[in-house]
Structure 1
Amino acid sequence: MKSLFFLFACFAIFSCSSSDEANEQPINEVMYFPPNDATTWETKTPGSLEWNENNVPALLDYLEQKNSKSFIVLHNGEIVMEYYFNGHTATTPWYWASAGKTLTTAVVGIAEQENFINTNNKVSDYIGTGWTSAPLAKENLITCKHLLSMTSGLDDSNGDGVAPSNLEYIADAGTRWAYHNVYVKLQDVVASATNQTWDTYFNTKLKNPIGMTGGWFQIESNRVYRSTTRSMARFGLLALNQGNWNGTQIVNSAYFNLSTNTSQNLNLAYGYMWWLNGKSSYRLPQTQFQFNGKLIPNAPNDMYCGLGKDDQKLYVIPSKKLVIIRMGDEADSATFGLSDFDNTLWGKINAVIN
């Protein structure tokens, strides 16, 4: 059964919104950041935002029917909705799947701003040659930015393994977009460049400063992050604020801006491991087909998101000052990221917030 964890009134200032989408936020409301004690988080009600509360039950019913475990909506940093389903609780960790790629993106940016790495440099500068089975000249074309943007040119049909035997040349780096697990090599790059383990650097530079819980777990050839839903919401709030946490710039804002905009001309809907809405076309994992139209038609054009297998969702919408999290099992059939669930869910969300 679904349970309401937090949904009560607190003091909130509300003023009439502009017709300009970028100025819908009440002009005198300051962004809220929860303290790092992991227990306190200010809330507000949907009614205080003049949302349509009559449509909340339909949204929750849909989430529960689609195997959701948790759902959080932040507005301006404060919790507006927080629900848990099917025995899941606020303290239960769950895996981010590929939505956690965005964590790797952020930490790579931190390592670059601390001058440990340069994302324009080739990967082999940091982890040595022979990390692929590509000819050396082709391997040396692959930069850290190619891994961030999924344009390594390595064959994506060899499964998720990242041993050299799995990483075969298929095209020159930068000439082909393909969703590939090879991005995890960026964690090796950071570890080598900083002379620290990935976990230590991640915890010191990102996890602890914003009060996240959880940790990395090895699943076959992949490293997956697991945490509470609120921890994902904390990272979403950092993303909403372009890498700034309550006045401290955790991730360089210029780099974060690059991360959440088109990173190459092959897949307009892809940044540095962030999916981008509102573009004229997009490509999906495991195909070279280009689809016309925007990624999630029902969602705001300025939304960027982390999307993971089994419908893990991290949506960030700057124009509406929203962060929306959905964790759970697969809604319908197994997917690597995007699914029909996204568009239907956004139809239900729009019925509440618009």
Structure 2
Amino acid sequence: MKTIRLTYLILSSLITFSCSSNDDAIEPNPEESLYFPPINSDIWETKTVTELNWNQDQLQSLLDFLELKNSKSFIILHEGKIVVEEYFDGHTNTSPWYWASAGKTLTTAVTGIAQEERLLNINDKVSDHIGTGWTSAPLEKEDLITCKNLLSMNSGLDDSLGDNISPSNLQYIADAGDRWAYHNVYAKLQDVVSAASNQSWSNYFNVKLKNRIGMTGSWIQNNDFNVYWSTTRSMARFGLLIYADGKWESEQLLPSDYLNDATNTSQNLNESYGYMWWLNGKSSYRLPQTQIQFNGSLVPNAPIDMYCALGRNDQKIYIIPSKKLVVIRMGNAADDDNFALSDFDDQLWLRINALID
């Protein structure tokens, strides 16, 4: 009996170990299902709406809406693969278009890379890198402004003097950290990175970000600051990098802890704003050119975990971790000219939801 009992215990242990090992072996790894397009090729794998069990009958109404609303291009990625890619009004997959303020997030990303390389710290004073006199604020007030204030849009500089960021247009209105205002002064971070790296902004950007994920495009100067132009797929590549927590394939290009900070509330004045990323699902938000606080979520029809890059006249990068999606829209203003957010976002998400839910 002892021999039989011992044999039973050994077999039971082996079965338990085997089951445990099998469970570990089949546990899914989200990174394994994430696709990255080749860096030196325009080949991009696809999925179909049918494969994902989305509502095929809702796709055409979404595309009709996009065309009606002056879109140039539209892409939906699921786990990195293209599910929807459409072009309108003579635009093609090789046509460049401007990112407008959606490109602010490129500056966010490169600033994080420069910090990881210990070229700077976002808590540094801006003047530590580019010298004093870059604003018209009194020196003791200019001295309060850090790189993080520029990332968070709470520099305290007057946002009502136009797009130009020459010193005469950068005037004191409040102490840094005391007032949130959407402002092109963020572009001074490009000067900071250039000074800290001892090379041009474009060169550092190309080497550290653009070339490493296969983007095309270039910075074009407008009103004393740079605007990025690229194809829609290049915008999608950047969105995929951010969705992948700063990784491209197995290489960590952007520090994940910095990216986490960038895509969460960065200050206590506008809880729907990170480091130039807009955040959905918060209880209130503020918009450019106003000091009014609005109650409710930024885009009520969109998933609450969505964060996004929003540019003038409805340039969009939406990232939705819970749905495994990156969504891109480029084009002219859907309705009236706007700084970033418009009613178009909510109406577009009403139709995206009809497709994917």
After TM superposition, is the score higher than 0.5?
yes
The answer on 1:185 being equivalent to 2:199 is no
Moved over 3 A (4+): 25-29
- Of 111, 119, 122 in structure 2, the residue corresponding to residue 119 of structure 1 is 122
Which residue does 2:204 correspond to in 1?
Answer: 201
For 2:41 and 2:198, locate their aligned partners in 1 and report how far apart those are by CA, in whole Å.
30
Which residue does 2:61 correspond to in 1?
Answer: 58
Q: Deviations over 1:161-200 (max 9, x none)?
A: 1111111100000010000010000000000000000000
Q: Deviation at 1:157?
A: 0.6
Q: Deviations over 1:262-305 (max 9, x none)?
A: 00010000000000000000000000000000000000011110
For 1:28 and 1:48, locate their aligned partners in 2 and report how far apart those are by CA, in whole Å.
20
Which residue does 2:348 correspond to in 1?
Answer: 345
The answer on 1:175 being equivalent to 2:145 is no
For 1:26 and 1:80, locate their aligned partners in 2 and report how far apart those are by CA, in whole Å.
21
For 2:102 and 2:30, locate their aligned partners in 1 and report how far apart those are by CA, in whole Å.
31
The answer on 1:213 being equivalent to 2:216 is yes
Of the structure 1 ranges 202-211 and 29-38, higher mean CA displacement relative to structure 2 is found in 29-38
The answer on 1:233 being equivalent to 2:266 is no
Letter in 2 for 1:296: V
Q: How does 1:86-101 map to 2 (within 5 A)?
A: 86-101=89-104
Q: Deviation at 1:27?
A: 6.4
Which residue does 1:263 correspond to in 2?
Answer: 266
Which structure's residues are more often helix, by fraction? 2
Q: Structure 1 length as normaliser, TM-score?
A: 0.92
Which residue does 2:132 correspond to in 1?
Answer: 129
Q: Deviations over 1:22-77 (max 9, x none)?
A: xxx99696100000123111001011000000000100000000000000000000
Q: Deviation at 1:222?
A: 2.5
The answer on 1:307 being equivalent to 2:321 is no
- Structure 2: where are the runs of 5+ without partners? 1-27
- Of 168, 172, 175 in structure 2, the residue corresponding to residue 165 of structure 1 is 168
The answer on 1:78 being equivalent to 2:81 is yes
SS of 2:308's partner is strand
SS of 2:129's partner is helix
Letter in 2 for 1:226: W
- Of 108, 111, 114 in structure 2, the residue corresponding to residue 108 of structure 1 is 111
Which residue does 2:249 correspond to in 1?
Answer: 246
For 2:304 and 2:199, locate their aligned partners in 1 and report how far apart those are by CA, in whole Å.
39
CA RMSD of aligned residues (A): 1.2
For 1:127 and 1:39, locate their aligned partners in 2 and report how far apart those are by CA, in whole Å.
39
Which residue does 1:139 correspond to in 2?
Answer: 142
Letter in 2 for 1:291: F
Q: Matched residues, percent identical?
A: 68
For 2:315 and 2:91, locate their aligned partners in 1 and report how far apart those are by CA, in whole Å.
15
For 2:89 and 2:168, locate their aligned partners in 1 and report how far apart those are by CA, in whole Å.
42
SS of 2:266's partner is coil
Q: Deviations over 1:114-163 (max 9, x none)?
A: 00001001000000001111111110000000000000000001111111
For 1:160 and 1:126, locate their aligned partners in 2 and report how far apart those are by CA, in whole Å.
22
- Of 39, 42, 57 in structure 1, the residue corresponding to residue 42 of structure 2 is 39
SS of 1:191's partner is helix
Q: Deviation at 1:221?
A: 2.3
- Structure 1: where are the runs of 5+ without partners? 1-24
SS of 1:141's partner is coil
For 1:28 and 1:330, locate their aligned partners in 2 and report how far apart those are by CA, in whole Å.
36
Distance 1:27-1:122 versus aligned 2 partners, 3 A rule: closer
Which structure has the larger Rg? 2
Letter in 2 for 1:167: L
Letter in 2 for 1:347: L
For 2:354 and 2:324, locate their aligned partners in 1 and report how far apart those are by CA, in whole Å.
17
Letter in 2 for 1:288: Q
Distance 1:41-1:307 versus aligned 2 partners, 3 A rule: same
Distance 1:27-1:169 versus aligned 2 partners, 3 A rule: closer
Q: Deviation at 1:242?
A: 1.3
- Of 142, 149, 152 in structure 1, the residue corresponding to residue 155 of structure 2 is 152
The answer on 1:284 being equivalent to 2:280 is no
SS of 2:328's partner is strand
For 2:117 and 2:168, locate their aligned partners in 1 and report how far apart those are by CA, in whole Å.
33
Q: Deviation at 1:247?
A: 1.1
**Aligned pairs, how many?**
330
SS of 2:182's partner is coil
